[in-house]
Amino acid sequence: MGKMDNNEHGKNRNCDVRAEDGRCVNCVDITPFIDNLPFGKSTDQFTTPDASGSTSQATNIVEALEAEKEPITPFISRVRALYETMSVSSILVIGGCGDYFEVADTVIMMDCYVPKDVTAEAKRIAADETVGGGGGVKRHKTFHLAGGARVPQARTYASRGKVVARSKDKIQYGDVDIDLGGVEQLVETSQTRAVADALDMLARSAMARKLPVKDLLDFLEAEMDAKGLDALMPGAFMAKYARPRRFEVAAAINRYREGKVEQNG
């Protein structure tokens, strides 16, 4: 899913979203997708050290939106509202399933490795055989998060020891490893190195304390715009950096198991 800035350079704001079994989740409102969990577990401030596939995917969607601003509600029910309410497009790669024909704007079929636009045919199929066996797709017209803005508690993000990118997918943050294996848009360790130092810088910055996640990321981008990557380690000479996007920094914030987050409002 993604959104393009309306500028001449076409700034990339696409963000890969997938299920990520086992990731930690800290105070995230996943009610647009999931409700009535076993044992009455809340989904408006959902917290767990070990998310399931469904709860992790819902979390990843909400966190991606936050970075820019059954008991399970299927994504198909929300996909139109996600675009119409928040201007966020979704690109799905699916095999052997026509459920999304009814809600899709465009359907592309790979025929012998050649992409073909089969939207008209897909819409005819959807009209002939309604999705789900008679009722069509149940659509939600709005996409609303009930919870308040999430505010990382700076004291819990202070590193206790080394901060180093061990690989493209792993940050050693003090005595805790941050697993970024589910963040597929990271392509090289230089990005991860900058993410690690950005996290440490934000935790130490008096200006960034008590800011909601979106404002925290706005602050970081403003610092990097003004000072370049030197903003991450003032007074030090750090080579082998590649500037990360706000989404990758948010991913590290959200996957740090020792971090605590509270909701405003």
DSSP string, 158-176: ---S-EEEEETTEEEETTE
pLDDT computed for residue 5 by the predictor: 42
Residue with tokens 């991860």: 192
Distance (Å, whole) CA 221 – CA 200? 15
From the CB of residue 59, how many other CB atoms can be counted at a distance below 10 Å?
26
How big, in percent rounded to 5, are the helix, strand and coil portions of the chain? 35, 15, 50
CA dist 251 → 121, 170, 206 (Å): 39, 12, 22
Query: 237 and 197 in contact (C-beta within 8 Å)?
Result: no
From the CB of residue 239, how many other CB atoms can be counted at a distance below 10 Å?
7
Which pLDDT tens digit goes with each residue over 90-129? 898 887 677 888 889 999 998 888 999 999 999 888 887 6
Query: 131 and 163 in contact (C-beta within 8 Å)?
Result: no
Q: For residue 86, give the nearest of 105, 67, 108 by alpha carbon.
A: 67
Question: In this model, does residue 157 exceed pLDDT 70?
Answer: yes
Q: pLDDT class for 36, splitting at 50, 70, 90?
A: confident
Question: In this model, does residue 9 exceed pLDDT 50?
Answer: no
Distance (Å, whole) CA 179 – CA 172? 9
Structural tokens at position 27: 């105070």
pLDDT computed for residue 130 by the predictor: 55
Question: In this model, does residue 71 exceed pLDDT 60?
Answer: no
Question: In this model, does residue 183 exceed pLDDT 70?
Answer: yes
pLDDT computed for residue 228 by the predictor: 93
pLDDT computed for residue 226 by the predictor: 96
pTM exceeds 0.75, yes or no: no
Q: pLDDT class for 195, splitting at 50, 70, 90?
A: very high
Which pLDDT tens digit goes with each residue over 197-246? 999 999 999 888 889 999 999 999 999 999 999 999 877 777 789 999 99
Comparing 133 with 18, the larger pLDDT belongs to 18
Mean pLDDT of 170-193: 95
